[in-house]
Structure 1
Amino acid sequence: MIPKKIQALFDFIDYLDGNKKEYVEKYLPLCEELIKLDTQRHKLKPKQNYNDKQEYDKIKEIIATKFSPITAKIYNPITAKLRELNIWTGDDTFNSIWNSNSAAIIDFKENFKQEDIPVVMKYKNKYLSFRNDTNTDFLCLSFAFHVLDETFKELFDFFKDSDKNEFDSFETKTIEVDSIEEALHGFLKDKKKNIKFSIPTENILAKPTDKPTKNEVTNIKNELYMGNKYEVGDIKNNNGQVIIGDANETKMNSTITDKGIDNNEKSDLPQKTFKWQRTGIIIATILAITTIILMIIFNSL
């Protein structure tokens, strides 16, 4: 018999599958339209020219209007379903999806019954079909689907008969780089690819061997442990997020637009997520520079 926590995950898959046709036919085209509008908006310079300011405000209003159905028909129902099924507790980063279900998944993998296998396979195919056929975060659920994919992969990877990565077609790809500059170059080159850049902490901040004198010119590198690595991730359609900390455990996600935060725009969480997802590299750069400055001050004391 399928345990209650696992069945709740399967019930959520049924919910997604039941709405998939409407999502694909009605809301994916709307998401594409919003992406194009957002691209047009970020090409404008509203602080420098009155014509750009007028066009910017016009596009902003169109985006706000067209985004409302995404909030009402996608974000609100999906997050409500996650809470109803006790899959998610309501945190902004959606990490509670993993924290609330990983133990049940591990237990199920240890204690499943033979009759459970066909059920698991059915729901695995449903989830993979949904993610492959939609292959989107609907502009407002990137954190949610990132953690959902991790959670379901933990379960479904156990129940497969080959070494093939069944999540490959929609899974975020990680590219190892040696510096923020290299990540930035890759980000600008591959804006529309579903990729993330991993920069080992030791490559950003290294402990100095000698303390320089006041008149000595030197490059100072310091070391600060903030988990395993900086990950500039989930970059899709020029979107990104930064994950700091141990993988699959403590994570902090921070995003701002690559054009800066627009203080004139006010919106609810889904629209903020849409605007802020463009960002990861700027956050990583600021964190690294701030850390170096602080360590230089500390070493000079």
Structure 2
Amino acid sequence: MISSKINAFFIFIDYLDSRKSELIENYIPLCAELNKLDVQRSNLRPKENYKDKIKYHIIQQQITEKFDPITEHIYKPLTQKLIDLQIWNGEDIFTSVWNNNIGAVSEQKENFDLKDVNEIIRYKVKYLNFRKETNSSFLCLTMVFSQLDEILKVLFDFYKDTSENEFDSFEAKLIKVGSMEELVENVKNKGDRHVKFSLPHDFFYKKPVQPSTHGQIILVKNEYNMGDTFNGVYNSTIYNRSTFNDAFNSVKTKYSEDSAEALEMLRILVENSKNREAGELFDSFNEELKKEKPKTSVLGSLWGGLLKIVPLITETVGLVDKILPMLQS
């Protein structure tokens, strides 16, 4: 018998299938246009030349106008469907897609009827065809599809007759990097590839380099990337080093060395984003962490904001898992 939770996934797959033609015909070309505009924008130097500044603002306006339909007609209705079906709770990191459903998936594999097999395989084919034929995150659904692929692969891999990785053509590919510098460089050059990054295990155990003074001022230039806006950060403090040090020591005491090193990794990613808003959120995150009894609701809200502004956080394998205990205690 197919449980209601598994059936919810099948209803969602039917929804994806019903919109497949529309997405391929209307929105994939729009995403391609946005990618081209992003390349044009990244080649401009609006801080250095007035003509570039004029061109930059024209392109920025075009990007805003073209991205709005993607948000309104793809992201919002698709994620609302996941909430309505109780597949996802609505949190920013989408971990409930796995946590809410892995028990039902395991139960389905353990106790299935032969009459269910054809039905499950039919939906597997439908989902795989959707992902292969669209093969796109539509510039806003990377985290959504990543979580869906992960949970559905556990279910669908049980119902196959070969050793072939049926998700290979669209699932995120793992890239191993040896340093933070290599990680940042790979992010710059990844284009629209769906990838995740893995740092050496001992990276999390390297001691952070302590500065000679607190409240370090970091000078950065304005840079612009698809999905991020870095405004007004020149000659400004990205984050408060003293607050971070207090939070680091508090986390190390309350949780573990592993958690503290994850916070250090988060610091590096925020710093490399050169985004003032990210720095402000990180300061607030650290202010809460250093308290004797941090409020998980506050930490969760700040964490969600950081995920939106610094997408590299979710693309760094293992980092989210090491931060989550701080948000759940």
Fold shared by both chains (TM-score > 0.5): yes
Matched position secondary structure for 1:79: helix
Matched letter for residue 129 of structure 1: N
Assess, with a 3 A threshold, how the Cα gap between structure 1 residues 189 and 89 changes in structure 2: closer, same or farther.
closer
**In structure 2, what is the equivalent of residue 13 of structure 1?**
13
**In structure 2, what is the equivalent of residue 173 of structure 1?**
173
Q: Distance in 1 between matches of 2:17 and 2:30?
A: 19
Matched position secondary structure for 1:108: helix
Post-superposition offset of 1:132: 0.3
**In structure 2, what is the equivalent of residue 54 of structure 1?**
54
Aligned pairs for 1:1-301 (under 5 A) are 1-188=1-188, 190-203=190-203, 205-206=205-206, 224-226=257-259, 260-261=274-275, 276=309, 279=312
**In structure 2, what is the equivalent of residue 291 of structure 1?**
none
Q: Distance in 2 between matches of 1:203 and 1:256?
A: 17
1:24-48 per-residue CA deviation (whole Å, 9 max, x = no partner) reads 0111000110111122222222233
Over aligned residues, Cα RMSD in angstroms? 3.5
Q: Distance in 1 between matches of 2:160 and 2:191?
A: 33
Q: Distance in 2 between matches of 1:275 and 1:53?
A: 26
Assess if the C-alpha contact under 8 Å between 1:173 and 1:194 holds in 2. yes
Assess if the C-alpha contact under 8 Å between 1:132 and 1:169 holds in 2. yes
Assess if the C-alpha contact under 8 Å between 2:137 and 2:145 holds in 1. yes
Q: Distance in 1 between matches of 2:118 and 2:98?
A: 24
Post-superposition offset of 1:93: 1.5
Matched position secondary structure for 1:155: helix
Q: Distance in 2 between matches of 1:188 and 1:58?
A: 23
Q: Distance in 2 between matches of 1:27 and 1:174?
A: 27
Q: Distance in 2 between matches of 1:257 and 1:29?
A: 34
| Number of positions where the alignment pairs a residue of Structure 1 with one of Structure 2 | 242
Matched letter for residue 170 of structure 2: F
Structure 2, unaligned runs of 5 or more: 209-255, 278-304, 320-329
**In structure 2, what is the equivalent of residue 235 of structure 1?**
none
Assess, with a 3 A threshold, how the Cα gap between structure 1 residues 200 and 104 changes in structure 2: closer, same or farther.
same
Post-superposition offset of 1:92: 1.2
**In structure 1, what is the equivalent of residue 222 of structure 2?**
none
**Which stretch of structure 1 is more off in the superposition, 171-180 or 159-168?**
171-180
Q: Provide the TM-score with structure 2 as the length reference.
A: 0.64
Structure 1, unaligned runs of 5 or more: 209-222, 231-243, 245-251, 264-271, 288-301
Q: Distance in 2 between matches of 1:138 and 1:200?
A: 31
Question: Which structure features the higher share of helix residues?
Answer: 2
Assess, with a 3 A threshold, how the Cα gap between structure 1 residues 72 and 187 changes in structure 2: closer, same or farther.
closer
Q: Distance in 2 between matches of 1:258 and 1:47?
A: 19
Post-superposition offset of 1:18: 0.7
Question: Which structure features the higher share of strand residues?
Answer: 1
Matched letter for residue 134 of structure 2: T
Q: Distance in 2 between matches of 1:257 and 1:37?
A: 26
Assess if the C-alpha contact under 8 Å between 1:8 and 1:85 holds in 2. yes
Q: Distance in 2 between matches of 1:273 and 1:70?
A: 22
Q: Distance in 2 between matches of 1:276 and 1:25?
A: 29
State the identity as a percent: 45
Post-superposition offset of 1:55: 1.5
Assess if the C-alpha contact under 8 Å between 1:256 and 1:277 holds in 2. yes
1:180-200 per-residue CA deviation (whole Å, 9 max, x = no partner) reads 234345445554533322112
Matched position secondary structure for 2:198: strand
